[in-house]
Amino acid sequence: MKAEIKKILCLLEEKGVDYADVRIVDTVKERITTENLQVQSIVNSRSKGAGIRVIHDGSLGFASTQNLEKLEETAMKALEIAKASRILQKEKIILAKKEVTVDHYETDIEIDPFEISKSDKIELLFSAEKEMRKSAELSQTKATMDFQKQEKIYADTEGSYITQLLYESGGGIVATARNNNLTEIRSYPNSFRGNHATAGYEYILKLDLIGHGEKTGKEAVMLTNAEECPSGVYDIIIGGGQLGLQIHESIGHPVELDRVFGSEAAYAGMSFLGVEKRNENFKYGSEHVTVVMDATIPTALGTYGYDDDGVKATKKTIIDKGIFKNFISSRDTAVKIGQPSDGNNRADEWANIPIVRMSNINLMPGNFEFEELVEGIEDGLHLVTNKSWSIDDKRLNFQFACEIAYEIKDGQFTGKIYRNPIYTGITPQFWGSCDAICNDKYWEVYGTPNCGKGQPGQVAHVAHGSSPARFRKVKVGVEDVK
């Protein structure tokens, strides 16, 4: 394949392109869902193809094909598209400089998930479902596993040739209870198909879906007897999983440099941050808030060797003690602020163009024990596990719903729970209200395998490290807004 790819790149150079790259991606997936102790679905899929990106006279064209015998035809199509782009273009595309690299990267796994039999996987999922049902009358139980193996080749006209072999594993359980027209759910370890990592089957075993089944089932039933969460202003502790999504929506997306430059203006939206904010000591949050982009964390879902610009995965501080420091970028966006790319340009498989995507965007741990967070609350709530999310197109006004809220009074849990807790806020004010973050003992990485962006729509697999954190005077609920 290497010779064929080089032939295509040489051909494009002869045609006068400024730059071109070829990516060949071969992805195998397995997705198992059991429901009510039956297999709801097992889907095995494979998708292989090539994407060719061309910059000609400063204009971009991209074409892809599943037929690897048609690389030349596809390259010519990409060139034709680049020439058509010239019709409506003001500024020529320039790429930030990078190192020419020849390398191979592999996810470090202990157990190949595709070597484990489907019957063993199904048995584990059934066992977890049985645990949920053990001591609770549930209307539905569900358990899931997702696996992915992806082989990638990247080559460009600058001389880089990079191969990668990436594995992903994920799993989760959901209990649903009904009582008096109320239907409530509890999930473990996170909602929307659980938690996910760049890892092998050992990750599934570590999740211990069976061990968490009983508590998950019990809480779903308890929620059907719980009161609706009250509306008001409260001090809250947000659990790690929910906080992961909070980081995703209100820090990860606003710091994507392509959004700042308007690339997503008509679709995913832009950002409340302008490029000038990087030099203004902009206060993004309190002094407790330090956020680091790190695409090298072992097993995190957003970890890889190189992005789809062929730039090595790296680590960079986004927010330092509350002060905004850096965006995440690609070669074509980084050059506009005079920086090298930090390796966050990624495409959804082979058929899409790479765009700026989060890798692992992490809220760094603080120094607090969880008990200390609770002790500091007179009247508040501990909110856990995301149920729904929404944020405006500038990433300022967010509203999240969680599965459950645990009541805190006078520094202690009262034992009372609430259903349907909602909290809402404005990004910088919210992060500015953070006054305590749990220490590294509580720090976990939460994979988000469903991050949507771009036209045509692309899905990225990213992650967020976090530990529970406390926020003061947060608006909870909406019923009191008159």
DSSP 115-159: GS-HHHHHHHHHHHHHHHHHTS--SEEEEEEEEEEEEEEEEETTS
Residues 268-297 that bind other proteins (CB under 8 A): 269, 272
Question: 405 has which bridge partners?
Answer: 383, 418
- Give the count of beta carbons closer than 10 Å to the beta carbon of residue 65: 18
Q: What x/- string results for residues 190 through 229 when contact with other proteins is judged by CB under 8 A?
A: ----------------------------------------
Token output for 117: 């039999």
Residues 356-375 that bind other proteins (CB under 8 A): none
Indicate which single residue of 72, 103, 393, 444 sits in contact with other proteins (rule: CB under 8 A).
Answer: 393
Token output for 273: 């941050």
Nearest approach in angstroms of CB 72 to other proteins is 15
> Helices then strands (H, E): number in the chain?
10, 24
Helix or strand or coil: residue 265?
Answer: coil
Indicate which single residue of 300, 384, 422, 445 sits in contact with other proteins (rule: CB under 8 A).
Answer: 422
Question: 49 has which bridge partners?
Answer: 25
Residue 77 or 186 with smaller CB distance to other proteins: 77
44 binds other proteins (CB under 8 A): yes
Length of the chain: 482
Residues 45-104 that bind other proteins (CB under 8 A): 45-49, 59-66, 77-78, 80-82, 84-85, 87-91, 93
133 binds other proteins (CB under 8 A): no
Amino acid residing at 260: V
Indicate which single residue of 11, 42, 94, 111 sits in contact with other proteins (rule: CB under 8 A).
Answer: 42
Q: Which residue matches tokens 């596809």?
A: 74
420 binds other proteins (CB under 8 A): yes
CA 386 to chain centre: 14
51 within 8 A of 23, measured Cβ to Cβ? yes
Residue 78 or 405 with smaller CB distance to other proteins: 78
Question: 389 has which bridge partners?
Answer: 400
Q: What x/- string results for residues 137 through 176 when contact with other proteins is judged by CB under 8 A?
A: --xx-----------------------------------x
440 binds other proteins (CB under 8 A): no
Nearest approach in angstroms of CB 427 to other proteins is 10
Applying CB under 8 A, which part among 3-11, 288-296, 387-395, 438-446 lies near other proteins? 387-395
Residues 5-34 that bind other proteins (CB under 8 A): 33
Q: What is the 3-state secondary structure (H, E, C) of 414-431?
A: EEEEEECCEEEEEHHHHH
339 binds other proteins (CB under 8 A): no
